[in-house]
Chains A and B, each alone.
Chain A
Amino acid sequence: MVAPLLSVRNVHKRFGGTYASRDVSLDLFPGEVLALAGDNGAGKSTLIKMISGVHQPDKGEISYAGMPISGKTPQEVRDLGIETIYQDLALADNLDVGINIFLGREKMRRALGLLPVLDRKLMRVEAEKALEHLGIVINDLSLPVRNLSGGQRQAIAISRAVYWQAKVLIMDEPTAALGVPEQREVKDLIMRLKKQGVGIIFISHNLTDIFDVSDRIVVLERGRKAGERMISDTDEEEVVRLMMGQEVSRK
């Protein structure tokens, strides 16, 4: 059996009097899409924030490739290869595609052999390669990303993560703000990433999307893990019942 890429063991997190996470465990394997479902306040955000290093679990253990990562900062977690793509995308709208992919890890060159300057051209060429690698075509990479469509912007955020060798991608509602054709593009992209061996945690309110792309689903309800199913073994009705906290008899 393949070892899990990411493994969450019995984590607890309390904010004041409420449990945001109660004894949650899950595993993510390479090339797998794991859906994380649950109503608002079920603890999805808290869980991914603990994985990405924004919050530290009160109890329990999170490990990546067999190594514990609790206690690491968000930057350290990202450097290990766990990238989170948030809804707001964290793109700088006023800057071009190349710069956005390299922001924080810019390529420099020396002008006239001495003065260090940003190598915008190299970054643009590298960005084009990264996008091509994922089958994404953007005509003009010198345009500020604000001129691009929502789907293209999402693709840029994902390419950035992949370019920097992300092995685990956490996608928070990646299709929420998109039109139907663009949702399809993003879902195609997820399937391609999966083939490249990236493990993906996919958070969505949209059960259709979840059933389209995921292999497995973990349902959270008021901080607890209400259930875990293979997508092939379940249906939307059962997932909804789990999300509502209703007892479900195992088929």
Chain B
Amino acid sequence: MSTPTASANRNVRLLRTLTGAWSWLFLLVILIIFEVWAWAVYGRSFIGNIRNVQSILLASTQILMMALGLTFVIISAGIDLSIGFIAGLSAVTMAVVIRALPEANPYLSFSLGITAGILVGIIPGLINGLMIARLNVPSFIGTLGMFGVTRGAAFLVAGGATVSIRNSVAREFGNGRVIFEAVPIPVLVAAVITLIFHYVLSSTKFGLYTYAMGGNFQAAVRAGVNTTRLTLSLYIISAFTAAMAGLFYTGRFSAGAADAGEPILLYAVAAVFIGGASLTGGSGTVVGTVIGSLIIAVIQFGLVFINMPPYIQFIAVGLVIIIAVLIDQSKDRLAGVLSEEKDTR
């Protein structure tokens, strides 16, 4: 009786490993495709060029910052659609504050700018959390409402236009390079935040309860998890990383735009799902989301690199999202088939 069960378990395991690794393989494959193209057409390397790598990392950082907090929310079986305009709201708040302060002390105005940007960005997250945790508003609807509210708020704060700034510290924050002038500062900051988030999600009770709540809400409640406080924290975290994305934007372009994060919202959602999360909650990882963000960034940059019309990238990313969902579903179906085999032992 134990042998067929053991082999079925082994199959389930192997399957989990394979479907878990598909995003790595996919990333590898597209890198190889662009590399071959680069040598064949231009006679030089794609990934061997530090400038290309920096551009890809910068592009993926934009996506990753918004996707990090969203990963937590999606694992808990929620969704946060407001992050795009939370990023915009934080971007313009930072710019407006820096503009309002004297240029004589760029460090002070930069510090106050990012503090204001984060604090203002967290407010919608707090309201999202309260709506969802206390008033039982479905996250899709609640954060869709907040999408509208933050959109309006961002444009109001910006006065309807892009808010440009002149601040050397902010420019350095968005464009500087460290470690032998090789690593862009946003990439470094994002890497540190990513490591912390990976630790929290994979190794702490907070992370575990996030998975438990997404897997079976009642199980989490019965285990004594304070689901109200946890939910509240998750939407605040999501707003925080979105706000960080907004700050990077303002630093990078020396201007805050209300729609800074809007085009990235869908890419962030896609990165989380490509990284192995499921709409029903309970799965997903920080590492997966990093890979998902890299895949999208490589597609974006690579298509420009090989001189494709820019609109092709929308189609390509769209197709990758569909592939990710198909793989996620076949994973469940295959696991179901294998465990049925096991039951008929």
Give every chain A residue within 8 A of B211 (Cβ-Cβ): 92, 94-95
A140 contacts B216, C-beta separation under 8 Å = no
Distance between A151 CB and nearest chain B CB, rounded to angstroms = 9
- Tell me the smallest distance from the CB of A23 to a CB of chain B, in Å: 30
B9 in the interface, Cβ–Cβ < 8 Å? yes
**Contact for B218 among A88, A94, A104, A111, CB less than 8 A:** A88
Residues on A with C-beta less than 8 A from B9 are 139-140, 143, 147
Across the interface, name the chain A residue whose C-beta is closest to B75: A94
- The answer to the question of B224 belonging to the interface, with a C-beta cut-off of 8 Å to chain A, is yes
Stretch at the interface among B28-36, B82-90, B202-210: B202-210
Q: Quote the shortest CB–CB distance from B154 to chain A (angstroms).
A: 36
Among listed B109-117, B186-194, B335-343, interface-contacting one: B335-343
Cα A177 to Cα B208 with chains together (Å): 28
List residues of chain B with CB within 8 A of the CB of A149.
339, 342-343
Within 8 A of B (CB), among A81-105: 88, 90-95, 99-100, 103-105
Q: Please determine whether A103 and B339 come into contact, CB atoms closer than 8 angstroms.
A: no
Contact A104 B223 (CB under 8 A): yes
Which residues of B sit under 8 angstroms from A93, Cβ to Cβ?
A: 215-216, 282
Contact, CB under 8 Å: B218 / A90: yes
Kindly list chain B residues whose C-beta atoms are within 8 Å of the C-beta of A143. Answer: 9, 12-13
Given contacts A93-B215, A116-B204, A149-B343, contact A139 B223 (CB under 8 A): no
* Known pairs A118-B204, A139-B5, A140-B13; A94 contacts B223 (CB<8 A): no
Return the contact of B216 from the options A90, A104, A111 (Cβ within 8 A): A90
Say whether B215 contacts A137, CB under 8 Å. Answer: no
A67 at the interface (CB under 8 A from B): no
Min C-beta distance of B5 to chain A, whole Å:
6
Per the 8 Å Cβ criterion, residues 40-96 of A in contact with B are 75, 88, 90-95
**Closest chain A CB from B66 CB (angstroms):** 24
**If A118-B203, A139-B9, A149-B343 touch, does A104 touch B224 (CB 8 Å cutoff)?**
yes
Cβ-defined contact, A95 with B215, below 8 A: yes
Which residues of chain B come closer than 8 Å to A88, judged between CB atoms? Answer: 216, 218
A137 → chain B closest CB, angstroms: 7
Task: Verify A92–B12 contact, CB threshold 8 A.
Answer: no
- Other-chain residue from B204, B208, B218 in contact with A99 (beta carbon distance below 8 A): B208
Interface size class of B (residues with CB under 8 A): 20 to 34
Tell me if A139 and B212 are in contact (CB < 8 A). Answer: no
User: What is the chain B residue whose CB lies nearest that of A106?
Assistant: B205
A143-159 with Cβ < 8 A to chain B: 143, 146-149
B203 lies within 8 A of A94 (CB) = no
Given contacts A116-B204, A117-B204, contact A75 B224 (CB under 8 A): yes
Contacts of B342 in A (CB 8 A): 149
Question: Would you call B307 an interface residue if the criterion is a C-beta within 8 Å of the partner chain's C-beta atoms?
Answer: no
Q: Within 8 Å of chain B (Cβ to Cβ): is A115?
A: yes
The answer to the question of B214 belonging to the interface, with a C-beta cut-off of 8 Å to chain A, is yes
Q: Could you tell me which residues of chain B, from 233 to 253, have a CB within 8 Å of some CB in chain A?
A: none
Per-residue contact bits, chain B 292-331, to A (CB 8 Å; 1 contact, 0 not): 0000000000000000000000000000000000000000
Interface residue B2 (Cβ < 8 Å from any Cβ of A): yes
User: Which residues in A have their C-beta under 8 angstroms from that of B13?
Assistant: 140, 143
Nearest 9 A-B pairs (CB), nearest first?
A104-B223, A94-B282, A94-B215, A117-B203, A92-B215, A103-B223, A104-B224, A92-B212, A140-B9
Residues of B at under 8 Å CB distance from A? 2, 5-6, 9, 12-13, 199, 203-205, 208, 211-212, 214-216, 218-220, 222-225, 282-283, 335, 339, 342-343
Pull 30 A–B residue pairs with CB atoms less than 8 Å apart, ordered by A: A90-B219, A90-B223, A92-B216, A92-B220, A93-B282, A94-B211, A94-B214, A94-B283, A99-B208, A99-B212, A100-B219, A103-B219, A103-B220, A104-B223, A106-B205, A108-B205, A111-B203, A115-B199, A116-B204, A117-B199, A117-B203, A137-B2, A139-B5, A139-B9, A140-B6, A140-B9, A140-B13, A143-B9, A147-B9, A149-B342
Binding site for B on A (CB under 8 A): 75, 88, 90-95, 99-100, 103-106, 108, 111, 115-118, 137, 139-140, 143, 146-149
